[in-house]
Structure 1
Amino acid sequence: MNMNRHDRKGTALIREVNQTEVPYGTLAIWFIGQESVIIKGDGVTIYIDPYVSDVLDNNGPARSYPAPIVPQDITGATLCLITHEHEDHMDAGTLPIFHKQNSKAPIMAPACCREPLIRMGVGDHQIMVADDRRTTELFSKLNISVIPAAHEQLEQDADGKYRCVGYVLELNGVTLYHAGDTVIYPDLVERLSKIKPDVAMLPINGRDYFRQERGIVGNMNYREAAELAVRIGAETVIPLHYDVFSGNAEKPGYFVDYLYEHFPEQKCHVMARGERYVYVSSLAFLQ
């Protein structure tokens, strides 16, 4: 009974995604939990780190709540972006089904993810390696820049390709930065300050000795995320990575309170599970 009700909700959410029209100067964003989001603009629908299966693996922790959709719901995808190989980002329970149902949608991921993706059944010709040394243009309307991510350190392979990345999307007149999993390092601040993203989506769950002792790799905390958003000139900031696992969580209210106390003019938005949020830039009013 509950699963059928959940399936109907997931089908309705994907129908909403597929039917939403996004005027120039705007982006539609859906929050699926953890760092899983759907981005839509100008006919392009992008899934970032779609983690919507039930568990990490047979021994992994269970989600603290069901995902708003299940893998079988996902249709109409144009592109999938993977930030790194951790199972709650490159989900073996989601990606084989995603690829089967959206076979024309390429998957961009760090080089270390190629072989695992192939083992999941993703065609080699559909895998694009994330390369921070160039900007990729797709569909004649989307530019993707790869930003190295330090989770918790910057790691590169023998070819200089980064193990963890974030993405800057330029689409429909809006620039969006999805950080993936990362702590702050000097080059990150400098690079993003030049971009000044309209929307910055940043992890806030932090890190500490005891989580490291349990093998949990950390991110920037909510104070660092707030300071970063202001430093790089982000017009709006959205917190991520705080809600799926009880042992690696944070309260987004702390993030909001910190901004309100220290940077009351910084715009932010905390997304509800499965919410559609439409970001509207100043360009939307120039048509």
Structure 2
Amino acid sequence: MAIHSDWGNWLPQAVADADPDGLAVWYLGCNGFVLKAADGTTVFVDPYLGTGDPPRTVRMIPVPFAPEDVAAADAVLATHEHTDHTHGPSQAPILTGTDATFFGPSASVEIADGWREDHGVDSGDIAEVSEGDSLEVGSLSIHVESAHDPDADHPVSYVVECEAGTFFHGGDARPSEAFEAIGSAYDIDLAVAAFGSSGTIPDKETREPAYTKWYSDENMAAEAANQLQTDRLLPTHWDMWKGLTADPTVLFDHVRRFEYPRTIEILEIGDRTDL
């Protein structure tokens, strides 16, 4: 079934029309982003346009675009295999409609392999990555690093370097020695951290109510930013699921006594920031 956008095509058109001096970064809601470099290189990270699995998971924000409206893309990156990060209806049309390649860890690629039959994706457009790999996508150097996400089978994180600066996307990962190593190895300008509340969500199999903590809370998000030594922290995922949403402004109090981040940047779905 084709995905219907609540907003029409204005957001992918805004990306197509943009001519950034450095690296433009649009927040797609949930944990999704699209990056566009000065040379036009365009990379999507964890774009998810589904509505969840009501009543278990209920999307609380608009669907910002239909994937068929993406006119140009060079890569789609997945951090791990969960549906809101690796999703055929959201991501396969970007692959078939552009020259983009899907890059993901083993568990994500296992899912994406099914898109060949289900969505007509060419096998050459799916590539597995693992920790320690580096990719050159246009003017962007993308490094695959470890990630601590106890709910995922094989999570990774991505460090995206370009002339304008360094962007970090950790998926749904939480503070860990992996973040400490990344913070020591790279000079991160803008880091994404999944942040949300805990709640009671029906179990995926039994549908019985179960205590659920999928993302970092306030203290964990502050710890993650400090471990990554990031100048700017951009909280994500707080807007997405009914029962697990949160107020990102509380993070200002929690990071105040840490050296990092220097600033917190809060974007709503569809907003743009730049490096």
Same topology, TM > 0.5: yes
Q: Which amino acid letter does the alignment assign opposite residue 40 of structure 1?
A: K
Counterpart of 1:191? 182
Q: Which amino acid letter does the alignment assign opposite residue 15 of structure 2?
A: V
The question of 1:115 aligning with 2:106 is answered no
Give a deviation string over 1:41-98, Cα, whole Å, max 9, x none. 1211111111013x23577533112222222322211211011111111123212222
Q: 1:193 to 1:72 in 2, by over 3 A?
A: same
The question of 1:76 aligning with 2:56 is answered no
Structure 1 CA distance for aligned equivalents of residues 12 and 122 of structure 2: 24
Contact 1:182 1:218 in 2 (8 A): no
Matches within 5 A, 1:1-287: 9-23=7-21, 26-42=22-38, 43-53=40-50, 55-57=51-53, 60-102=56-98, 104-121=99-116, 122-139=121-138, 141-152=139-150, 163-205=154-196, 214=210, 216=212, 218-260=214-256, 266-279=262-275
Contact 2:235 2:266 in 1 (8 A): yes
Structure 2 CA distance for aligned equivalents of residues 68 and 176 of structure 1: 22
Q: Which amino acid letter does the alignment assign opposite residue 149 of structure 2?
A: H
Give a deviation string over 1:156-181, Cα, whole Å, max 9, x none. xxxxxxx1111000123311100101
Q: 1:204 to 1:81 in 2, by over 3 A?
A: same
Contact 1:207 1:220 in 2 (8 A): no
Counterpart of 1:283? none
* Structure 2: tracts of 5 or more residues without a match: 204-208
* Structure 1: tracts of 5 or more residues without a match: 156-162, 280-287
The percentage of aligned residue pairs carrying the same residue is: 23
Structure 2 CA distance for aligned equivalents of residues 59 and 125 of structure 1: 37
Q: 1:261 to 1:277 in 2, by over 3 A?
A: same
Secondary structure at 1:33's aligned position in 2? coil
Structure 2 CA distance for aligned equivalents of residues 233 and 96 of structure 1: 34
Structure with higher helix content: 1
Give a deviation string over 1:120-145, Cα, whole Å, max 9, x none. 23322111212212322233x22111
Contact 2:179 2:228 in 1 (8 A): no
Task: Tell me which stretches of 4 or more aligned residues in structure 1 moved more than 4 Å.
Answer: 57-60, 210-213, 260-265
Contact 1:95 1:120 in 2 (8 A): no
Q: Which amino acid letter does the alignment assign opposite residue 130 of structure 1?
A: V
Contact 1:56 1:91 in 2 (8 A): no
Contact 1:151 1:217 in 2 (8 A): no
In the TM superposition, residue 105 of structure 1 has moved relative to its aligned partner by 0.4
Q: 1:154 to 1:198 in 2, by over 3 A?
A: same
Secondary structure at 2:10's aligned position in 1? helix
In the TM superposition, residue 207 of structure 1 has moved relative to its aligned partner by 5.2
Q: Which moved more, 1:261-270 or 1:242-251?
A: 261-270
With normalisation by structure 1, the TM-score equals: 0.81
Q: 1:120 to 1:255 in 2, by over 3 A?
A: same
Structure 1 CA distance for aligned equivalents of residues 178 and 256 of structure 2: 27
In the TM superposition, residue 29 of structure 1 has moved relative to its aligned partner by 0.9
Structure 2 CA distance for aligned equivalents of residues 75 and 18 of structure 1: 7
In the TM superposition, residue 215 of structure 1 has moved relative to its aligned partner by 7.3
Contact 2:238 2:248 in 1 (8 A): yes
Secondary structure at 1:29's aligned position in 2? strand
Structure 2 CA distance for aligned equivalents of residues 145 and 262 of structure 1: 27
Secondary structure at 1:202's aligned position in 2? strand
